[in-house]
Amino acid sequence: MENRGIPLLGDSFPEMKVVTTHGEMNLPNDYAGKWFVLFSHPGDFTPVCTTEFYSFQKRFDEFKALNCELIGLSVDQVFAHIKWEEWIKENLKIEITFPIIADTGAVAEKLGLIHPGKGTNTVRAVFVVDAAGKIRIMLYYPQELGRNMDEILRVVKAMQIADKNGVAMPANWPNNELIKDEVIVPPAKDVKTAKERLEKAKEGKWTCYDWWLCHKKL
């Protein structure tokens, strides 16, 4: 029997054919070479979800600038998605330009989006998938709490910088209380490297609180 549940960080995003407001799509293949954020919502024509879609769309260009696409999902049918998009455009004066998956429940089951005690509605889940189709970040919110889109934008940007430069990102980056917008040098794994870290600190190349806590400008 196949074991179903929430995927793990680092797993390949499961291959699936989905029906969306932009036609049929194959995930993750249609986004090959791009990052994407897939986010589920409990249902169309609901107040919290409406505020979320408005907020995602307001940041659409910022995600695009990071080579990152957006794709929504709920168990509503396509015609409900389309009608909801029309309502948002007419009443909130913004057009939803990213696709929304109309799920029959198969996608939600693969990704662990329907939680006990919440009926058949999907929870507010976020999957950040990198350009190689790997799941890098997963966030789950209850139905009662709307998401912070600036945080989702931040984590995409932070992970791309971490990957490119082989560094780690501090809490609240780029506004960390200790090291501001600098990044963390991964800790040394042997005595020789630990000594080298302190030498580089003396030379002014890095700043170190200790050999295991060094930071630098990008």
pLDDT, tens digit, for every residue of 138-191?
Answer: 999 888 899 999 999 999 999 999 999 999 999 999 999 999 999 999 888 899
Strand (E) or helix (H) holding 27 = strand 23-27
| Model confidence band, residue 116 (pLDDT cutoffs 50, 70, 90) | low
Residue 89: the pLDDT is 97
Domain that holds residue 171: 166-218
Residues 93 and 173 in one domain: no
| Model confidence band, residue 204 (pLDDT cutoffs 50, 70, 90) | confident
The residues, any chain, with a CB within 8 Å of residue 157's CB and separated by 6 or more, are 66
Residue 26: the pLDDT is 97
Give the closest residue to 156 by CA, choosing from 176, 129, 133, 132. Answer: 129
Residues 114 and 30 in one domain: yes
β-bridge pairing 213-216 and 183-185: antiparallel
Q: Rounded CA gap, 37 and 21, in Å?
A: 16
Tokens of 3: 């074991």
Q: What is the pTM of this model?
A: 0.91
Catalytic residue among 49, 68, 208, 214: 49
Give the closest residue to 156 by CA, choosing from 34, 46, 74, 55. Answer: 34
Residue 160 lies in a domain: no
Residues 27 and 115 in one domain: yes
| Model confidence band, residue 1 (pLDDT cutoffs 50, 70, 90) | very low
**Tens digit of each residue's pLDDT (9 = 90 or more) over 62-97:** 999 999 999 999 888 999 999 999 999 999 999 999
> Which CATH number belongs to the domain containing residue 40 in this structure?
3.40.30.10
- Count how many domains the chain has: 2
Catalytic site includes residue 68: no
Residues 201 and 132 in one domain: no
Please report, rounded to a whole number, the percentage of residues in the chain having pLDDT higher than 70: 94
Residue 2 lies in a domain: no
Query: What's the Cα-to-Cα distance from 58 to each of 43, 84, 120, rounded to whole Å?
Result: 20, 17, 29
Q: Rounded CA gap, 215 and 218, in Å?
A: 10
> Which CATH number belongs to the domain containing residue 207 in this structure?
3.30.1020.10
Residues 137 and 171 in one domain: no
